[in-house]
Amino acid sequence: MTTTARVFQNYIGGKWQDAESGKNFANHNPATGEIIGYFPLSGEAEANAAVAAATAAFEKWRLVPAPKRGEILFRVGELLKQHKEDLARTMTQEMGKVLKETRGDVQEGIDMAYYMAGEGRRLFGYSVPVELSNKSGVATRDPVGVVACITPWNFPMAIPTWKMFPALVAGNTIVFKPASDTPLSALRLVEIMYEAGLPEGVVNIVFGPGGTVGEALLHNPDVAVISFTGSTESGRHVAIEAAKSLKRVSLEMGGKNAVIVMDDADLNLAVEGILWSAYGTTGQRCTACSRVIVHSAVRKQLVDLLLPRIEQLRLGNGLDESVDVGPVINASQLSKIHSYTEIGKNEGANLVTGGHVDKEGELAHGHFYRPTLFTNVKPDMRIAQEEIFGPVLSMIEVSSFEEAIAVNNNSKFGLSSAIYTQDINRVQRAMRDITTGILYVNSGTTGAEIQFPFGGTRGTGNGHREAGIAGLDVFTEWKVVYTDYSGKLQKAQIDQ
């Protein structure tokens, strides 16, 4: 283990700063256990200083014309593109997923930068006819103020960009609190934003635990919006606390996403989609497939095709291009994942493969878990209901299309679903009846594109969406301006 790892700082109001306490926390590589760097163990004082800096910067930033704000984001996109490989490698070292996926993560940030740069010349409001003569009405989007972005470790680049870029193009300023498992990727992103010409104070980054930094942001009266992605447990807490001061809150939380495989499905195609969605990112996506709902007529065939493919998946350091599945993020997630294997066995599900920590050879110092498949899972078992956030897949057998839809919808969550079928009528019915934020037809549950709304039903969120035009809503306040140029008092609804 290296003791020469670099010490990094918060960036608040255009100044690099240590935590007031002078304390730091270490950031580890989950594949090797190596220390990547030390980051300030911040608390309330640093969070409040960042809010004060963002509040001060807001008065100028809101007046920068939106097309100019968009141009800065365009340059951010150019710089992310230029540094894509380096950012991807940093991210793989810091959170483990394989390089092709961390490159994809940076790409989502690039896509979002270009998309929101364009919004600088749109930010559509609307003008519609008014009921009185010599009067006009126009609805515009105003920024809301200071936005706290609290982000997870599984998409260290993409998710912060989904929050910050729409917030910025709309004229808000930001306090960014990234997950403590991925501070370096977050810091790199902020550095790039300033290199692109962002005025000081517009984005402030504070490292530290949710319990202190996050909590201070929740309770600071000058924070207008909280945009949070993370666990359902923490999200619920955010909503409850933020409600006390009537903050706006946008939550993206758990998933228990299912791939439905009907009796007429192209099974080879389904196997590819299931493998990618269930074990990609080591199962640590909120869009990961963690349930397969299979028609009994093809269950055996599907397992026969899927099982050898799962067993062939190579675990290892994500920097090695021949590795399929990287480590899980940390020791506590590893033990949580394994506890679900025990729960599944106790519930009577059939553990077909995996179900254990892997410490063989070069995996010895990392947090590796064998890709796991349970069959004979019943829809109400905990392994079919609770988000595990790891490489654990539960297969549930059904005997009809209707039952498949019902099992899919029987979930506290509703982020992403998929259906494999060749029958156009079933596709149409699935489109109508599956209660989800995202539905894939003949593809896996992952891979949402940034120009569409991202988010889910039920306990996945609180009704908001990120990305696309919908992603602007939480960061903008509608303002309607009526101008009466009749020169007299006209009364709406009264003067006809």
Question: Catalytic positions, please?
Answer: 252, 286
Q: Contacts for 83-89 with beta carbons within 8 Å, 24 or more apart?
A: 83/188, 83/192, 84/110, 87/157, 87/185, 87/188, 87/189, 89/319
E-state strands within 87-177: 126-127, 135-143, 146-150, 173-177
DSSP per-residue letters across 237-288: HHHHHHHTTT-EEEEE----EEEEE-TTS-HHHHHHHHHHHHHGGGG-STT-
Residues 148-177 as x/- pattern, contact with ligand UN1 by CB under 6 A = ------xx----------------------
Say if residue 227 is exposed, middle or buried (CB neighbours under 10 Å; 0-12, 13-18, 19+).
Answer: buried
In the complex, the smallest distance separating the C-beta of residue 26 from ligand UN1, rounded to whole angstroms, is 25
Instruction: Considering only residues 379 through 408, tell me which ones interact with ligand UN1, judged by CB under 6 A.
Output: none
Nearer to ligand UN1 by C-beta: 224 or 448? 448
- Candidates 74-82, 134-142, 279-287, 488-496; binding stretch for ligand UN1 (CB under 6 A): 279-287
Report if residue 137 touches ligand UN1, rule: CB under 6 A.
Answer: no
Shortest Cβ 447–ligand UN1 spacing (Å): 5
Look up residue 415 and give its two tokens. Answer: 């982020």
279 binds ligand UN1 (CB under 6 A): no
Contacts of 175 (CB under 8 A, 6+ apart): 47, 50, 51, 54, 146, 147, 148, 149, 204, 205, 206, 217, 223
By CB under 6 A, how many residues form the interface with ligand UN1?
A: 9
- The 3-state DSSP class for residue 343 equals helix
Q: Which residues pair with 142 in a beta bridge?
A: 477
Among 353, 446, 460, 476, binds ligand UN1 (CB under 6 A): 446
Residues 6+ apart with CB under 8 A from 168: 61, 69, 72, 73, 116, 174, 198, 202, 203
Counting every residue, how long is the chain?
496
Of the candidates 300, 252, 276, the one whose C-alpha atom is nearest the C-alpha of residue 418 is 276
Tell me how crowded residue 428 is: count the other CB atoms within 10 A of its CB.
Answer: 11
Work out how close the CB of 365 gets to ligand UN1 at its nearest, in angstroms, rounded to a whole number: 26
Helix (H, G, I), strand (E, B) or coil at 163: helix
Stretch that binds ligand UN1, among 23-31, 172-180, 268-276, 443-451 (CB under 6 A): 443-451
Shortest spacing between CB 373 and ligand UN1, in angstroms: 20
Task: Examine residue 286 and tell whether it contacts ligand UN1 (CB under 6 A).
Answer: yes
Which class for 373: exposed (0-12), middle (13-18), buried (19 or more C-beta within 10 A)? buried
Binding piece for ligand UN1, criterion CB under 6 A, among 14-22, 80-88, 235-243, 440-448: 440-448
Interface with ligand UN1, residue 447, by CB under 6 A: yes
Nearer to ligand UN1, 112 or 398 (CB): 112
Q: Which is nearer to ligand UN1, 173 or 287 (CB)?
A: 287
Helix locations, 145-182, DSSP H = 158-169
Q: What does the buried/exposed string (b/e) look like for 13-36 if buried means 16 or more CB atoms within 10 Å of the residue's CB?
A: beeebbbeeeebbebbbbbbebbb
Nearer to ligand UN1, 199 or 447 (CB): 447
User: Of residues 117, 164, 448, 472, which one binds ligand UN1 by CB under 6 A?
Assistant: 448
Q: Which is nearer to ligand UN1, 48 or 161 (CB)?
A: 161
Give the pair of three-digit tokens for residue 254: 């758990």
- Would you say 255 or 355 has its CB closer to ligand UN1? 255
Nearer to ligand UN1, 155 or 165 (CB): 155
* Cβ proximity to ligand UN1, 285 vs 426, nearer residue: 285
Q: Which of 177, 285, 426, 464 binds ligand UN1 (CB under 6 A)?
A: 285
Question: How many whole angstroms separate alpha carbon 85 and alpha carbon 177?
Answer: 24
Give me the least distance between CB of 302 and ligand UN1, in Å please: 22
Helix (H, G, I), strand (E, B) or coil at 46: helix
Binding to ligand UN1 (CB under 6 A) within 99-118 occurs at 108
Applying CB under 6 A, among 102, 182, 287, 394 the residue interacting with ligand UN1 is 287
Minimum distance, C-beta of residue 152 to ligand UN1, in the bound complex (Å)? 7
Q: Minimum distance between the CB of residue 110 and ligand UN1, rounded to whole angstroms?
A: 13
Per CB under 6 A, 328 contacts ligand UN1: no
Q: Which of 437, 414, 471, 447 is nearest to 227 (CA)?
A: 471
Interface region with ligand UN1, contact rule CB under 6 A, candidates 137-145, 204-212, 336-344, 444-452: 444-452
- Interacting residues toward ligand UN1 by CB under 6 A: 108, 154-155, 285-287, 446-448
